Amino acid sequence: MLVFFRDGFYKDLIILLIITVIVGAVFSQGIAWAIDTYFGDTLDGMIGEYGEYDVILHIREEAKEAAMRELDRIGQESFPGYRIKESLTIAGQANFFFGFPAEHRTKEVLEAITSYFGAVPGISGYTLMVEPSVLIRGVHPAVREDLREQIEGLEGVRFAVKDGGNLVVVLSHEDRIDTVTGAVESILQQYQILELRFPMGFEVDTQEVGNQALKVLRAQGLSGDRSYTNVTSAEYGEDLDAFLKALVEMRDFLGSYASQVRISPEPSARLGVGELIILEDGLIIEVTGVYGDLVEAMIVEGSPVQSTDKIVQRGYRFLGEGERGEWIGNVEIENERYRLAYAVDESLRLLEELEELSIQASNAVDNAEAVLITFQEALMQLEVLQVQMRQLNEGIAGDGINSSGEQFLLTILLNGLFQTLAQGVINTGEEPLDSLQNLDLEAMRKSLSGISEQIGNVQETDVAAIIEQIGFVRDTLPNLNDAEIGQSIRLINTYLGGQVIPGERIQLLIQGKAVDEKMLEGVFQRELDNPYLHTYSTSVGMVTPDARGELFRILKEVRSIVAGMLAIIFTIIVLVLDHATIFSTLKYVRASGKPVRKGLAGLLNPLIFLGGALGSLILTSVYYLARSEIPFFSLPLIVLLGFGLGVLIAFMAERFSPVNSMELMAAQSLGLSNVQIMREVVIPPSRPGLLNLLNRFKQQF
Partner 1 sequence: MLEIKNLHKSYGQHIALDGVNLQVNKGETVVIMGPSGCGKSTLIRCVNRLTEPDGGTIRLGGIDVLSLGNSELQDLRRKVGFVFQQFNLIGRLTVLENVVFHLVLGGMDRDEAWARGRSVLARVGLKAAEERRPHELSGGQQQRVGIARALVTNPEIMLWDEPTASLDPILVGEVLEVMEELVKTTATTMVIVTHEVSFARKVAQRIVFMDQGRVVEEGVPGDVFARPSSEVGRLYRKLLVN
Beta strands in 1-121 (DSSP E): 55-60, 83-90, 93-99
- Least separation in angstroms between residue 597's CB and partner 1 is 13
State residue 689 phi and psi, 5-degree precision.
Answer: -140, -165
- Asked if residue 595 binds partner 1 (CB under 8 A), the reply is yes
Using alpha carbons, list the distances in angstroms from residue 612 to 115, 128, 189.
Answer: 68, 54, 50
Site map (CB under 8 A) of partner 1, residues 314-343, x = contact: ------------------------------
- What part of residues 649-668 is at the interface with partner 1 (CB under 8 A)? 660, 662-663, 665-668
- Least separation in angstroms between residue 567's CB and partner 1 is 33
- What part of residues 676-695 is at the interface with partner 1 (CB under 8 A)? 676, 680-681, 684-685
What's the alpha-carbon Rg for the chain, to the nearest Å? 49
- Least separation in angstroms between residue 10's CB and partner 1 is 14
168 vs 681 by CB, closer to partner 1: 681
259 vs 674 by CB, closer to partner 1: 674
- Least separation in angstroms between residue 693's CB and partner 1 is 16
Angle at 86 (CA atoms; ends 80, 92), nearest 5 degrees: 135
**What residue type is assigned to position 323 of the chain?**
E
Kindly tell me which residue out of 672, 687, 693, 694 binds partner 1, with binding defined by CB under 8 A: 672
Buried/exposed code over 28-61 (b: 16+ C-beta within 10 A; e: otherwise): bbebbbebbeebeeeeeeebbeebebbbbbebee
- Asked if residue 93 binds partner 1 (CB under 8 A), the reply is no
State the Cα–Cα distance between residues 438 and 430, nearest whole angstrom: 10
- Asked if residue 674 binds partner 1 (CB under 8 A), the reply is yes
Beta strands in 391-504 (DSSP E): none
State residue 59 phi and psi, 5-degree precision.
Answer: -125, 140
- Asked if residue 525 binds partner 1 (CB under 8 A), the reply is no
135 vs 681 by CB, closer to partner 1: 681
- Least separation in angstroms between residue 689's CB and partner 1 is 17
- Least separation in angstroms between residue 650's CB and partner 1 is 22
141 vs 593 by CB, closer to partner 1: 593
State the Cα–Cα distance between residues 503 and 493, nearest whole angstrom: 18
- Least separation in angstroms between residue 670's CB and partner 1 is 4
**What residue type is assigned to position 331 of the chain?**
V
- Least separation in angstroms between residue 684's CB and partner 1 is 6
- Asked if residue 594 binds partner 1 (CB under 8 A), the reply is yes
Using alpha carbons, list the distances in angstroms from residue 26 to 14, 57, 546, 631, 692.
Answer: 18, 42, 31, 21, 19
Contact range with partner 1 by CB under 8 A, out of 279-287, 441-449, 590-598, 611-619: 590-598
- Least separation in angstroms between residue 700's CB and partner 1 is 6
291 bridge partner residues: 294
State the Cα–Cα distance between residues 613 and 647, nearest whole angstrom: 9
- Least separation in angstroms between residue 6's CB and partner 1 is 7
227 vs 700 by CB, closer to partner 1: 700
- Asked if residue 443 binds partner 1 (CB under 8 A), the reply is no
- Asked if residue 3 binds partner 1 (CB under 8 A), the reply is yes
Contact range with partner 1 by CB under 8 A, out of 1-9, 139-147, 326-334, 576-584: 1-9
Asked whether the beta carbons of 239 and 271 are under 8 A apart, the reply is no
First to last CA, the chain: 26
- Least separation in angstroms between residue 602's CB and partner 1 is 12
Contact range with partner 1 by CB under 8 A, out of 150-158, 183-191, 316-324, 591-599: 591-599
State residue 377 phi and psi, 5-degree precision.
Answer: -60, -45
- Least separation in angstroms between residue 25's CB and partner 1 is 33
3 vs 91 by CB, closer to partner 1: 3
315 sits in which H/E element: strand 311-318
Q: What is the DSSP string of 351-400?
A: HHHHHHHHHHHHHHHHHHHHHHHHHHHHHHHHHHHHHHHHHHHHHHHHTT
494 vs 669 by CB, closer to partner 1: 669
478 vs 684 by CB, closer to partner 1: 684
- Least separation in angstroms between residue 43's CB and partner 1 is 51
- Asked if residue 398 binds partner 1 (CB under 8 A), the reply is no
Residues in the chain: 701
150 vs 673 by CB, closer to partner 1: 673
Tally Cβ neighbours within 10 Å of residue 275. 18
211 vs 592 by CB, closer to partner 1: 592
- Asked if residue 601 binds partner 1 (CB under 8 A), the reply is no
Buried/exposed code over 430-469 (b: 16+ C-beta within 10 A; e: otherwise): eebbebbbebeeeeeeeebeebbeebeebeeeebeeebee
- Least separation in angstroms between residue 658's CB and partner 1 is 13
387 vs 596 by CB, closer to partner 1: 596
Contact range with partner 1 by CB under 8 A, out of 106-114, 473-481, 561-569, 674-682: 674-682
Distant-in-sequence, close-in-space partners of 204: CB < 8 Å, separation ≥ 6? 198, 503, 504, 506
Site map (CB under 8 A) of partner 1, residues 615-644, x = contact: ------------------------------
- Asked if residue 671 binds partner 1 (CB under 8 A), the reply is yes
106 vs 673 by CB, closer to partner 1: 673
- Asked if residue 20 binds partner 1 (CB under 8 A), the reply is no
**What residue type is assigned to position 28 of the chain?**
S
Please work out the total of residues on this chain that contact partner 1, with binding judged by CB under 8 A. Answer: 27
Asked whether the beta carbons of 559 and 35 are under 8 A apart, the reply is yes
State the Cα–Cα distance between residues 284 and 278, nearest whole angstrom: 4
Footprint of partner 1 (CB under 8 A): 3, 6-7, 592-595, 660, 662-663, 665-674, 676, 680-681, 684-685, 700-701
